[in-house]
Structure 1
Amino acid sequence: MKLSRTTNQNFQQKAAFLSGVALLVMTLAAFFAHGYVHSSLVIDGDAAVTLKNIHASPSMFRLEIFGWLIILITDLIVSWGFYVFLKPFHLGYALLAGWLRLLYTAILAIAVSHLVIANSLVQATVSVGAHHVMASITAFEAIWSFGLIIFGLHLIVVGLIAVDTKKIPKVISILVVLAGISYSFIHSMYGFIPQMERFTGVLELILMVPMFIGELGFGIWLLMKGRKLTLDEY
């Protein structure tokens, strides 16, 4: 019995560590793939310039896709790690959070497949219109945005589990909940109220702090403190 308890504790501590590492790697990959490459190459509403940019830096576009593949892998690790770490607090909610994250990852994979299609079109020997490439990139952005609604729901569930614990700092728990609400609300507006896109963009900038700090802060806490928790502290 004691051996089993110790094994479970070690398993949960490893899950916390791996989740924390995966979140940090994911953050760096997202900064590069979306924050740097995508925002540099893709010009919203200008298919011709976008195609010109990609033709000028095809390796960078392929590196963006590679960055998204890293994000997909780390998302799978986080889905598993969060479930293992959080299930002693609330098994049902931990399972729900895990499935929501897996659903988001599946949607993200579908979105990234459109970047792969765009890359194939750019590399095709037959000349393709800029609008075909831009259509694939736009599909990626739209599908990913929809997925972020699910991602937000995942964070809300994770945050609610964390709020009910004694060891996870309340400020981190609340930030995770706020991040989840922000993601779901912002991307629901992008998807269902497109005529308010300008206002939504401003609101997204305002909510960027809790959206960024929420999950990343939880990841850092998992690395620093979560991996040291014992079952008695739950």
Structure 2
Amino acid sequence: MRNYVFSSCLSALSILALSVSGLAAEKAAEESKPGPSHEVHSLRLQGIDLKAEEIDYKIQRGGRREINLNGQAMIQIDQITVRANSIHAVYTALDQLVLELQEHVSIVSPGDHLRAKATEAKFDFGAKTLLLKGREDKLAQLNRYEGSRVNQLIATEIQIQFTDQETVFIKSSGPVEISERKQTPEDDFPVLQQPRNDPFPGPAPDYAPRKAQTSFSPQTDLFSPSSRPAPRTRKDF
């Protein structure tokens, strides 16, 4: 009788051990499964290319178009490529496009010889303005290219006004860092096709760096060697 009870206990323990092992194996298999894939979709419209995990495109009354991109969002318009976590765009005509970008913003424009990074930005093609905003822990950054030199501006907020193909006025607010360095291979712009419909009309760009008049205020051209003041580091204008 005692042996029978002992054998029954051993059998119960074996079943329990097998059950626990089975649950552990199922849990391990579940954890090893790949997470949901974040597939990036593409949509090509007239004069504009879109990419994102989620694309919402609407045509409203009067021909007003509204675009919402979420997840690895990208918009390319001729020479200009913008990326962000999310992008909201509205326009009736492409030269009146307004872009609002949120988180991990990146803007590349070979024709304007600039790259920009920010936590949020607003790009108004009609007004020809670009507003970059950063945070205290992640400031906005603008790289402007002149010949073999790279002029870099870092600030909490940067405002850019494109007056024509050769002139860009730049203002900044909050603490500012200004530096200059030589170009590196990482600064090379991608090879792009000739523009189909340049939102900022002017001579067709040859993608070779050209001297540009760039200023942070109407009175001072900080990127001009003849008028550049002593470097300023994290000081308010």
| Structure with the bigger percentage of helix | 1
Shorter-chain-normalised TM-score: which range?
under 0.3
TM-score, normalised on structure 1?
A: 0.21
TM-score, normalised on structure 2?
A: 0.21
| Structure with the bigger percentage of strand | 2
